[in-house]
């Protein structure tokens, strides 16, 4: 195929205060670079938008560097190699890499992961249930919370990309009962009817603490936290002695303009001898092969279900991001780049 001369890419042009707005972003054109030795050129098919990206829009020290103003943003992408100057990566290969938010990416071959063949799954699964999303849920339950046979597990943000996988994995890893929270009756029904949660709590219907106490009168053993705030406070009340909390994210405070108050019941951590641990999937890279082997079989057999919300067109990538941040997605939020 003839290579394009330009590529559209999203730039952050202003640091948001509170919720990002359209004025904080710009879709610009840039020249497409032909690959040099050891490099590949990838035509991105799908882009991933994820909650952690909101933190990168702030000029603050964190576990990943902030986005630079007036430069292309980055994130996971799935694409097709259209030119290669690297051994082991061929034209036509499907790859996952981190130069998303753009139509074309030229990058070292060492930065791409070739999508494995032989699994009966859609290619987009490698941005979601078999990608960073699923790996995050697996690591949080397997190595951080260390789910055991018979555990009662509570997952917040359970209709989202990570939460929906975490709830199912908890059961596959031995939990006896899984409770999830979601916003609205439709998402709550999805948890029980499609993802196999035992109980779904609609946090918009009543205070989450009251609902969790009623759903788990004998307490919970593990809390997988995507939300923080009132959900974390409710979980601390409900956790049994020696309970474990895997903190994946705290999306309730990502767009706050003032510090969020800590849970008022943190003292329970001492008396109940609780363990609370935040984690990043990058710290659990050694689990990736085991995760892909087990989860790949579960997805292929239908034991691990997943959904995607796909927004068409790279020009709508920021819309997709903001929609995801407001809970407007079911499962993994993706952007189909288009022709």
Q: What is the CATH number of domain 6-128+307-336?
A: 3.90.180.10
In the chain, where the domains are located: 6-128+307-336, 133-282
pLDDT the model gives residue 1: 61
**The pair of three-digit structure tokens given for residue 314, joined into one six-digit string:** 């790279």
Does CATH place domain 133-282 in 3.40.50.720? Answer: yes
Low-confidence ranges of the chain (pLDDT < 50): none
Alpha helices in the chain (DSSP H): 52-56, 132-139, 161-172, 185-193, 208-215, 229-238, 268-271, 288-301, 317-325
DSSP string, 240-299: EEEEEEEE---GGGTT-SSPPPPPTTTTHHHHTT-EEEE--GGGGGGGHHHHHHHHHHHH
Does the fold of domain 133-282 match that of domain 6-128+307-336? no
Q: Return d(Cα 222, Cα 244) in angstroms, integer.
A: 5
pLDDT the model gives residue 260: 74
Q: What angle do CA 314, 156, 151 make, to 5 degrees?
A: 135
pLDDT the model gives residue 4: 87
pLDDT the model gives residue 251: 87
């Amino acid at each position: 195929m003839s290579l394009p001369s330009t590529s559209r890419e999203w730039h952050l042009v202003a640091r948001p205060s509170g919720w990002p707005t359209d004025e904080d972003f710009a879709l610009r054109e840039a020249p497409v670079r032909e690959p040099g030795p050891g490099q590949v050129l990838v035509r991105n098919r799908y882009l991933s938008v994820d909650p952690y990206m909101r933190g990168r829009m702030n000029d603050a020290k964190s576990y990943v560097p902030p986005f630079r103003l007036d430069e292309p943003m980055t994130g996971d992408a799935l694409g097709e190699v259209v030119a290669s100057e690297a051994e082991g990566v061929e034209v036509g290969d499907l790859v996952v890499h981190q130069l998303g938010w753009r139509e074309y990416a030229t990058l070292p071959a060492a930065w791409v992961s070739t999508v494995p063949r032989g699994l009966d799954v859609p290619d987009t699964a490698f941005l979601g249930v078999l990608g960073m999303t699923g790996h995050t849920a697996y690591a949080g339950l397997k190595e951080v919370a260390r789910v055991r046979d018979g555990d009662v597990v509570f997952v917040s943000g359970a209709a989202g990309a990570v939460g929906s996988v975490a709830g199912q994995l908890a059961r596959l890893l031995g939990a006896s009962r899984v409770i999830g929270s979601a916003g609205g009756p439709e998402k709550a029904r999805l948890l029980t009817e499609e993802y196999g949660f035992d109980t779904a709590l609609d946090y918009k219907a009543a205070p989450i603490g009251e609902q969790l106490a009623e759903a788990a009168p004998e307490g919970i053993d593990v809390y997988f936290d995507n939300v923080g705030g009132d959900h974390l406070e409710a979980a601390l009340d409900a956790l049994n002695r020696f309970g474990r909390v895997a903190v994946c994210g705290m999306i309730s405070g990502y767009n706050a303009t003032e510090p969020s108050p800590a849970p008022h019941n943190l003292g329970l951590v001492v008396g109940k001898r609780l363990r609370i641990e935040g984690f990043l999937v990058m710290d659990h890279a050694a689990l990736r092969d085991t995760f892909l082997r087990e989860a790949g079989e579960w997805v292929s057999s239908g034991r691990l279900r997943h959904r995607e919300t796909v927004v068409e067109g790279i020009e709508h990538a920021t819309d997709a991001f903001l929609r995801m941040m407001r809970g407007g997605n079911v499962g993994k939020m993706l952007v189909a780049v288009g022709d």
